[in-house]
Amino acid sequence: MSNRRDFMGMALGGFTALGGIGALYAMKRTWDPLPSVKAAGFTTIDLKDAQENVLVTEKWRGKPIFILKQSKEMVEKAKKSDELKRLIKIGDEYYMVAVGLCTHLGCIPGYDSGKQSFLCACHGGQYDSTAMVTKAPPPRGLDIPPFRIDGTKIVLGEEGPEYKKMLADGITMKV
């Protein structure tokens, strides 16, 4: 069978492949997260009853979220080590809000309110009270989720101007 004769066969094969690509696209879309999953990706948290140095854990998109209201000395410490920009300011109060998953391999670090630091039991990584990394192996501080400030509340999942600035300054990566 000469190649010339099988030109039609090749044309058919090529055209069929196009259809195959269409089918693969439909299959890919079937794997996409469902609209109800994406819509559930917004959580509103009211910070007004938070207490200083008491870790609060919330849930957003299935992940734990750490909220730590900063005490006066924590704020002073943060100012000195230029870490104030990691915190969220609401009124006169400062809060650390971060995804409670170690940036090394994803375990949940534990908080020691005495030492005012986080320790990850899996491989010994440590973070300070602004969730900045202080001991390896984590490569960076805890990630900060997208947020928008609404009075004393924050809406996780929406991107407010404060969050956009944190992204631009390289304080966190997109979660």
Partner 1 sequence: MNKELKILGVVAAFTLILYWGVEPFAHSQMHKHVEGHGLVYDGTADIEEASKDKKEAKKKFWAEVKEIAKLKGDPVAGEATYAMCAGCHNENATNMGGVTPPSLEHAGAIYDKNFLIALIKDPAMATNVDHKYPNGTDAHPMGSVKGMVNTPQDIANVVAYLKAKKAGEVTPKEAFKEACSRCHANRYGKLTQLGEIPKTKPNIKTGQDIEKIEYDKKVAIEQNALADYLGKLPPDLSIIYRARSEHFLETFIENPQSQLPGTAMPRTGLNHEGMEKVMAYLEETGDPSAPARALAGPWVLGFFLIFTILAYLWKQSQWRDLH
Partner 2 sequence: MAHFEKANSINEWLDQRIGINTIKRVMQTEYWIPKNINFLWAMGMVLAATFGLLLVSGIFLLMYYQPNTELAFDSVNYTIMTEVGYGWLWRHIHGVGASVVFLVIYIHMFTGIYYGSYKRGRELIWISGMLLFVLFSAEAFSGYMLPWGQMSYWAGMVITNLFSGGSLHADGLVEWIRGDYVPGQAFLGRFFMLHVLLMPLAIIGAIVFHFGTLRIPHVNNQDGEEIDFEESARLWKEGKRAESKVIPFSPVFLSKDVFVMGVYFILFFYLVFYHFEFAMDPVNFDPADGLKTPTHIYPEWYFLWSYEILRPFPTDPGLVAFGIAQVIFFLLPFLDRSPNVAPASRRGLFNFWFWALLIDMIVLTFMGKLPPEGIWSTIGLVAAITFFVLWIALPIITKLEKKL
Given the rule CB under 8 A, which residues bind partner 1?
A: 5-9, 11-12, 15-16, 18-19, 22, 43, 57-59
Among 2, 4, 21, 26, binds partner 2 (CB under 8 A): 26
Q: Measure the CA–CA gap between 123 and 106, rounded to whole angstroms.
A: 11
Structure tokens at 78: 């943060």
Using the rule CB under 8 A, is 2 a contact of partner 2?
no
State in angstroms the smallest separation of the CB of 135 from partner 1.
29
Using the rule CB under 8 A, is 29 a contact of partner 2?
yes
Q: Measure the CA–CA gap between 114 and 118, rounded to whole angstroms.
A: 11
Nearer to partner 2, 12 or 105 (CB): 12
Contact 56, 68 (CB under 8 A): yes
Nearer to partner 2, 6 or 46 (CB): 6
Using the rule CB under 8 A, is 7 a contact of partner 2?
no
Dihedral angle sign, alpha carbons of residues 36, 38, 39, 45: positive
Contact 155, 164 (CB under 8 A): no
Q: Measure the CA–CA gap between 76 and 84, rounded to whole angstroms.
A: 9
Compute how many other C-beta atoms are within 10 angstroms of the C-beta atom of residue 175: 15
Using the rule CB under 8 A, is 32 a contact of partner 2?
yes
Using the rule CB under 8 A, is 18 a contact of partner 2?
no
Write out the residues near partner 2 by the rule CB under 8 A.
1, 6, 9, 12, 26-27, 29-32, 34-36
